[in-house]
Amino acid sequence: MSEFDSFTGALRRRVAERPGHVAVRFCAGGGDERLTYAKLDLAARAVAAAVRTRTAPADRVLLSCAPGTAFLKGFLGCLYAGRVPVPVPPPGSHAPQTQRTAGIARDTGAELLLTDMAEVLSGDGFGASTVLSVQEALRADPAAWTPPLPERQQLAFLQYTSGSTSEPKGVMVHHGALAHNLALMRDSHGWHGGMTWCSWLPAYHDMGLIAMMLAPLYLGGTAVLMPATDVLKRPVSWLRLIDRCGAEISCAPNFAYELCARLGDEQIAGLDLSRWRYACNGAEPVDARTLARFAERFRSAGLKPSALLPGYGLAEATLYVSGTPVHEEPAVFRVDPAALEQGRLAEAGTNTVEVAASGVVRGLDVRIVDPVRLTETAPGVVGEVWIRGQSVAQGYWRRPEETAQTFGGTTAGGDGGFLRTGDLGAFHDGKLVITGRLKEIIIMHGRNLYPHDLEREAQALDPAFDGLPATVFAVRPPGRTDEEIVVTQEVRGRGVPAEDLQALARRARTALARRLGVTVAGLVLLRVGRTRRTTSGKIQRNLMRDLFLRGELEAWHEELDPTLHVGSARPLRTPAATGGARS
């Protein structure tokens, strides 16, 4: 195949055009490490030379680095070498993350582990012979490197999904899809090389990698990075860095904006966000109330409402699918909740629920398709989001059946080649509105109930729940054909008398059932931090349901319907048996 304008080709042009321009800054602990395009390129060529001596073309290279510049040196080095990088989280203190990384290593058959933490990882089941430290790789001779000429359909990297509804799968992103998606973001938003990006998102997160690291390098801009842990501990540190570096672009999931919207006046005093023009919010779906709270909270800091840009994307489409045009305020529609439960977006004047649009689609063929009939729906009618275009990935690594099912969508009329996203949405007023996940929707008495809507209702039930996550899922009691709703809600229960927690759970369960007009079979009060999330912050509802059924949730109190038997390994736990805080 003929050569095309790949990401690495574009990056090499930036190196030639502006070698002394700062490509990457990493800010942590008062430090500010800076790499110019020339220095980053030199490092990437050295890593490429080292990687080539240890691997063959198209070999997979597991890439696990602590926050810093080592990841980009390793990732670019793999691309420069014509190898396939596989970003994974660094080993953490909790077992699920370590197990996830080890599982990815087995799934990829990675021939090499490239890391800046070799002394830690050498004992984690990878074997010392498979480990190469980034520092050692940087000692290789960059002059020994020769540039590869990647072809459009050649595999660029494996991006493992977050696993919010199933186990992680390796999305095969080819060079053509990466270049197309980066150009799509550039053209849709008007991004250019004179801009500064600022991000705390992990490098193994698709938004963090592609939108916040590769996009600025593709365009010749500057990426300013910081550790995610800093933001989770002190959310305002993200905004302070945006202010300090004058960043125009910073993207994050909805939950990060919600955290910041709750900051106090003293924390945000003196903050200047007037230069932040692209506050991209990517979630399924974006919470309209979060947009309003964030805009109001930082109005005094100079943030314009038009800077808030809801968008939609997924790893299977490389990243970006739709986004809100800059200079336009987010589109928020007031729709009839009863109509929404029947799968329609119908605007109404009273008794409404607000839904935020995820912008407009450009450069991709996006359809809304009835997931059962496989027919395209009318505007305003909810269906599954199907995508076709050059940004769509090749499929899942070593999963031919799932690749065929997900990437081979064909309508009833025979129109094929679509990615079936599993996301539900509709076009309304020319804009894409995401309403939920197909696998997570709860159908009760002919009503389509979306877990995220129910979770927001739960969080608003009592001041004790404010700012803490809820999870909603459905379970099927033994011997029953219908499902029941269970809600878990984090609460600060330390030092609270057992009878108060019992009363809180009972009161919240009754109030939620009254609000929803359906029976809530169980409400579980969890300790803070016990809600399971993916690496990108999405709630793992299916995992939470499994933990509930196995009786493995760490709860302060459970208020359960007597018919709700959970976990064959434990007896039915009624309020009388479970009342009180548990350590």
Average pLDDT of 109-134? 73
pLDDT digits (tens, 9 = 90+) for 223-237: 999 999 999 899 999
pLDDT for 581: 30
- Of 236, 251, 266, the position where a domain reaches its end is 251
* Domain assignment of residue 542, yes or no: yes
Average pLDDT of 160-179? 83
* Domain assignment of residue 424, yes or no: no
**pLDDT above 80 (res 105):** yes
* Domain assignment of residue 72, yes or no: yes
Nearest to 456 by CA among 472, 437, 442: 472
Average pLDDT of 537-549? 86
* Domain assignment of residue 65, yes or no: yes
pLDDT digits (tens, 9 = 90+) for 351-369: 888 999 999 999 999 999 9
pLDDT for 118: 59
Residues 6+ apart with CB under 8 A from 521: 475, 477, 484, 485, 486, 560, 561, 563, 564
Q: Are 532 and 445 in contact (CB under 8 A)?
A: no
pLDDT for 578: 33
pLDDT digits (tens, 9 = 90+) for 55-81: 999 999 999 999 999 999 999 999 999
Q: Is the pLDDT higher at 141 or at 92?
A: 141
Q: Are 427 and 321 in contact (CB under 8 A)?
A: no
**pLDDT above 80 (res 249):** yes
pLDDT digits (tens, 9 = 90+) for 443-500: 887 788 888 888 988 988 888 998 899 999 988 877 666 788 999 999 988 888 889 9
CATH number of the structural domain spanning residue 156: 3.40.50.12780
* Domain assignment of residue 317, yes or no: no
**pLDDT above 80 (res 22):** yes
Residue pointed to by tokens 């009180």: 580
* Domain assignment of residue 129, yes or no: yes
- φ, ψ of residue 333 to 5 degrees: the values are -105, 140
**Domain count of the chain?**
2
pLDDT for 10: 97
pLDDT for 565: 53
**pLDDT above 70 (res 162):** no
Average pLDDT of 320-326? 95
* Reported pTM: 0.85
pLDDT for 515: 85
Average pLDDT of 2-24? 92
What type of residue is 130? T
pLDDT for 579: 30
* Domain assignment of residue 376, yes or no: no
- Of 251, 285, 300, the position where a domain reaches its end is 251
* Domain assignment of residue 263, yes or no: no
Beta strands, E only, 179-274: 196-199, 222-225, 249-252
pLDDT for 452: 86
CATH number of the structural domain spanning residue 571: 3.30.300.30
Q: Which domain holds residue 44?
A: 7-251
**pLDDT above 60 (res 568):** no
- Of 251, 277, 294, the position where a domain reaches its end is 251
Highest mean pLDDT range out of 77-81, 115-119, 463-467, 548-552?
Answer: 77-81
Would you place residue 102 in the very low, low, confident or very high pLDDT band (cuts 50, 70, 90)?
confident
Query: Angle at Cα 221 formed by Cα 218 and Cα 223, nearest 5°?
Result: 95
Average pLDDT of 123-136? 72
3-state per-residue secondary structure call for 435-453 = EEECCCCEEECCEEECHHH
**pLDDT above 90 (res 564):** no
pLDDT digits (tens, 9 = 90+) for 201-222: 999 989 999 999 999 999 999 9
* Mean pLDDT, the chain, integer: 89
Average pLDDT of 343-352? 88
CA–CA distance from 82 to each of 43, 85, 175, 177, 428 (Å)? Answer: 16, 9, 11, 16, 43
pLDDT for 476: 80
Average pLDDT of 420-440? 94
